Amino acid sequence: MKNNVLRSPLTWLLVIFAAGVVIGIGELTPDRGLPVIQPHELNPALVDPTLWSSEDHRVLDFELVNHLGDSVTLESLEGEVLIADFFFSRCATICPIMTSNLRAIPEAMDGKTGWRILSHSVTPVADTPEVLTTYAKRMKAFHPNWWFLTGSKEEIYRLARTSYFACYDEAHGGDGGFQDFVHTENVVLVDVKGRLRGFYDGTSEEAIKQLIADAQFLLEESN
């Protein structure tokens, strides 16, 4: 009897149907895993040549100052998902757009802990903590989890080229001569282990929505 049941065309149709349903559900359920991005996967113009062959890249330690006048190091951010971008307060092109779009992150993360936005000035001599505080208030970006960072040009350029890969080789004269090196619209997502997990166009609202979803995933992953 058992063998006869297995030979039944109806039984085989039901088996095939069930298998199809399982496969279909798997295809409709996206894999939320985010890749760990290594330097050799990026545009070479953004990567310091000494790191091109690195296979376990992590954000390097640093010492900067936030818009509140507090010293900030990598240790200050231990256990946090980081969202990093590069801008300058006098920029009249992509920077205001990026900052405005990034405001969606604190709104979406309301009530969540373990995350921080780090906006690095690429003209740190001009962008003092006082200037950055004024900028944050003017852009309605003043939030406890959002730090605007300044410091030595060498330190910020080193971070941009050897940690976040968000700036091109040093150049002068951009945006009326105020910009010391050319930053991109890239916003970089970093997990709690200091690994790069995503790059997003900060001028795109849709890209920022994806960034928010991915950051929330990393928060859940780290809990």
| Domain range summary for the chain, segments of one domain joined by + | 1-30, 39-222
pLDDT of residue 170: 60
Alpha helix ranges (H) inside the chain? 2-7, 9-28, 94-102, 104-108, 129-138, 153-159, 174-177, 205-222
| Tens-place pLDDT, residues 104-120 | 999 999 889 999 999 99
Tell me phi and psi for residue 33, to 5 degrees: -65, 135
Give CA–CA dist 221/82, Å, rounded.
Answer: 14
Cβ distance 160 to 166 under 8 Å? yes
Greatest extent of the chain over all pairs of C-alpha atoms, in Å: 87
- Top CATH class of 39-222 equals alpha beta
- 196, two tokens: 């790069």
Cα-Cα end-to-end distance for the chain: 52
Q: Quick check: 179 pLDDT over 60?
A: no
**Burial zone of 101 (CB within 10 Å; 0-12 exposed, 13-18 middle, 19+ buried):** buried
Q: pTM above 0.85?
A: no
Strands 146-150 and 115-121: parallel
- 3-class secondary structure, 180: strand
| Tens-place pLDDT, residues 29-85 | 344 589 999 999 999 989 989 999 999 999 999 999 999 999 999 999 999 999 999
Give CA–CA dist 190/215, Å, rounded.
Answer: 9
Question: What band does 121 get if pLDDT is binned at 50, 70 and 90?
Answer: very high
* Highest mean pLDDT out of 10-19, 45-54, 183-192: 183-192
- 134, two tokens: 């004024």
